[in-house]
Structure 1
Amino acid sequence: MKDADNLIVRLSFEFALDIIKYCEELELSRKYVLAKQLLKSGTSIGANIREAQNAESKADFIHKFKIAAKEIEETQYWLDLCLYAESYPDPIGLVEKIKSITNIVNKIIISSKTNR
C-alpha cells in the first residue's frame, strides 16, 4: 500500500477494506441499496485522503480533506441506519473506527488552516 507509514492514509485504507467486507455481508442479506450507498461513501474517504497527499497547494490539500470529512458524515449516517435497523447486521467495529478517523481528519484540517 502506498503511504503505509502515513497514519491517516493507512487507517482510511483499512477502514475501506472493512467497509467492503461489511457491504458484502449486506448484499448477502439482500440489503442492496444501503450496501451500495455505504460502499461508495465509505471507500471515498480514503480515496480523497490519498488524493490529498499529492495536492497542488495547501488550499487543495484542505479542500480534499474537507471532501473526506463530508464522506465521513455520510458514511456515519449509513452506519447509524444499519446500527439501529433491526433487520440489518451490526456494523461491529466500524462505528468506532470511523470516530477515530473523524478525529484525525478534523485535526488535520484545523492544523492545516492555522499553518497557512
Structure 2
Amino acid sequence: MKNEMLQRTKQFAIDCWHFCSKVPKSREFNAYVNQLLKCSSSVGANYRSSQRAKSTADFINKLKIVEEEADESMYWLEIFEQILPEYADEIKGLIKEANEILAITVVSINTIRKNQNK
C-alpha cells in the first residue's frame, strides 16, 4: 500500500500539471493554476515526507497536511470544472483521484489514532 500511495500521489501531481498546461494563460487563470500546482504537488511531497516521520505524532501531522492539500486540490479542481466545462471529463477524473487519496489518508489517520489509544 505504501509504494502504491507514493506512486498515486506523485501521479496525481503529474496529472494536475498536465491539466494545468492546457489552461489558457491569463492573469486570472494563472492565479488558479498556481494554486492547484502547489497543493496537488504538496500531496505527494508530504506523503513522501510522512514515510520518514520521526514519531507517530509526526507521521499523523504529515498525513494531516496530505489531507488538507488533497482537499484544497479538490476545491481548485471544482472551480476549474465550472469555469472550463470543456475539460469536465478530465477534471472529474482528477477530482475522483483526489477524493480517493483523501479518503485513504483519513482512514489511515483514524486507524493510527485508534491503534494509539489501545
Pick the TM interval, shorter chain: 0.7 to 0.9
Computed over aligned residues only, the root mean square deviation of the Cα atoms, in angstroms, reads 1.7
What is the TM-score with the length of structure 2 in the denominator? 0.86
Q: How does 1:5-24 map to 2 (within 5 A)?
A: 6-24=3-21
State the Cα distance separating 1:89 from its structure 2 match: 3.4
Q: Does 1:75 align with 2:73?
A: yes
Aligned-residue sequence identity (percent) comes to 32
**Aligned AA (1:103):** A
Runs in 1 of length 4+ with deviation above 2 angstroms? 86-90
Unmatched 5+ stretches in structure 1: none
Query: 1:5: how far off?
Result: 6.0
Partner of 2:22: 25
**Alignment partner, residue 50 of structure 1:** 48
Question: Structure 2 vs 1, CA of residues 65 and 5 (structure 1 numbering), >3 Å: closer, same or farther?
Answer: closer
The 2-side partners of 1:41 and 1:5 are apart by 20
Deviations 1:5-51 (A, max 9, x none): 6221111111111011011112xx11211111100001100100000
- Match for residue 61 of structure 2? 63
Q: So what's the TM-score if we normalise by structure 1?
A: 0.87
Match of 1:38 among 15, 36, 41: 36
Higher helix share: 2
Q: Report if the CA contact (8 A) 2:46-2:66 is conserved.
A: yes
Gaps of at least 5 residues in structure 2 are none
- Displacement after TM superposition at 1:93 (Å): 1.1
Contact 1:9-1:49 at 8 Å conserved across structures:
yes
Please tell me whether residue 98 in structure 1 is matched to residue 111 in structure 2. no
